[in-house]
Amino acid sequence: MTADDLHLLNTRHSVPSRQLGEPAPDAASLARLLEAAVRVPDHGKLVPFRILTLRGDAKLAFGAQLTAMALAKHPDMPESKREKERHRYTFAPLVLVVVAHIHRDSTVPEFEQNLSAGCVAYNMLLGAQALGFGAQWLTGWAAYDRDVAALLGLADNEHVVGFVHMGTATMDTPDRDRPSVDGIVSEWTP
């Protein structure tokens, strides 16, 4: 093993969605990325996840509907937040919606199923970077709202894990400070 073997993990960072533009991965690259992204721990082989793609006019329509929902739910929203809602889906050319598909009749705890779906979202970030693209995993109010879930056509046993915005970075993104391993790792002793 060499230092280069962990290069992707050691350089992984999110690119803010506002700094993502064209192009997004083409069909072949996206297929390769998604095939890799679903290679996650999956206790019980349940495949407790699925993925929706948002792009083009559909992505913009989704963003407009979310804006209308947000304003209806919070009519006193400050103008700065209204502006953020209006533009949230106008930057990145591709948004992948990672959905947890929970098998409630399984002996595998729901928490583990959610972790599996979360790993798909994280693998998308790694895969995008490996292919030379930028990505950001976002949640926000829309990930937890059942009206948004209905808009996306989600079943009662499904919920959004995250919206992975993807495209080409339009500027360099400085890395942020990372935690010191010394401060978070300790050895357990009996």
- Integer Cα distance of 88 and 95 in angstroms: 11
User: What residues are designated binding site?
Assistant: 12-14, 39, 43, 137-139
Q: Please list, in sequence order, all residues whose beta carbon lies within 8 angstroms of the beta carbon of residue 167, skipping any fewer than 6 positions away.
A: 20, 21, 22, 23, 24, 91, 92, 93, 94, 133, 134, 135
User: What residues are designated binding site for FMN?
Assistant: 12-14, 39, 43, 137-139
Question: Which amino acid would we find at residue 103?
Answer: H
Q: Please list, in sequence order, all residues whose beta carbon lies within 8 angstroms of the beta carbon of residue 184, skipping any fewer than 6 positions away.
A: none
Of residues 28, 27, 43, the one with CA closest to residue 117: 43
